Amino acid sequence: MTSARSSRRVVPGVLAALALLPACGSPVAESVSLSALQGRTLQFALTDVDSLERPSTTGAYRVTVVFSPGEGCVQLLDGVRASLNGQPMTLLPGGLSGSGSRATCESPRATYDFDPAQWAGGTSPEDLRLTLRDDSHTVEVVLTAARTKRRFVRVDGMTGNTLRRGERHGYAWQPVSDTVVDVLKVSLTPREGGLTTNLPVSQAGNTGAFLVPEASTEGEYVLRLDGTATVGVSACTGVVACEGGVVHSEELVVTVAR
């Protein structure tokens, strides 16, 4: 089979649950070619996390594709190649991890850690083409306008990094080609340490608006914004479906003032 019957798009929270799966009693993992996985779903996730404290955390800027679980535990034979827009991805063939009652099954997957500075360049987002192939089969998904740096851009008519107490402020997820699928999460934490305040958010499309409490102490804070979004899937071949999305979070130093 070379064409997918579906190209559903969902947020990638399910990928975390697929990282380690029960081995289901299998004493060994079956070694298979890529064609043996054509009846599964290819799940993709794009992680884009800007952290002030941990700017170089492994996996903070990563594209991942992973096969959904099936009957038994499998691992890919040698010879499978994975690429993102022609660049090699790191292939993890899957199989059993651990031993005895603690044995778990890791689904076959591939990852690519991107340079956020490179993805921030250019005038417009580009498509992402993720391909896995061996001598038996080819699996491919094309994500529309997905090669770009995600950002939260201030859209409340104000500039700079000052947030006014008792006023409503808005930030929009970019690029606009993504579709935010849930209410953004927003929090304020005093820069010098203290309790984090989670702020209620009203969502309109890709924009979230929040009110800075009147009782907030003036000073420097870390503003954290978190969101999940879907991207367009323009091609999905070699599997029954392709699904996934984007996770982005961003930390900004802001000043809370009157």
DSSP state of 155: -
For residue 97, the model assigns a pLDDT of 84
pLDDT in tens, 111-143: 999 999 999 987 789 999 999 999 999 999 999
DSSP state of 52: S
Q: What's the pLDDT band for 35 if we cut at 50, 70, 90?
A: very high
pLDDT in tens, 148-163: 999 999 999 988 899 9
Given phi > 0 = left and psi -120 to 50 = alpha, else beta, which region is 106?
Answer: beta
The answer, yes or no, to whether residue 1 has pLDDT greater than 80, is no
For residue 121, the model assigns a pLDDT of 83
User: Which has the higher per-residue pLDDT, 21 or 232?
Assistant: 232
pLDDT in tens, 191-235: 988 999 999 999 999 999 999 999 999 999 999 999 999 999 999
What amino acid occupies position 188? L
Q: Name the H helices within the chain.
A: 13-17, 116-119
Q: Which of 151, 171, 150 is nearest to 159 (CA)?
A: 171
Q: What's the pLDDT band for 56 if we cut at 50, 70, 90?
A: confident
Number of Cβ within a 10 Å radius of residue 38: 19
DSSP state of 15: H
**Reduced to 3 states, what is the DSSP secondary structure of residue 192?**
coil
pTM for this entry:
0.87
Q: Report how far residue 118's alpha carbon sits from residue 136's, in angstroms, rounded to the nearest whole number.
A: 34
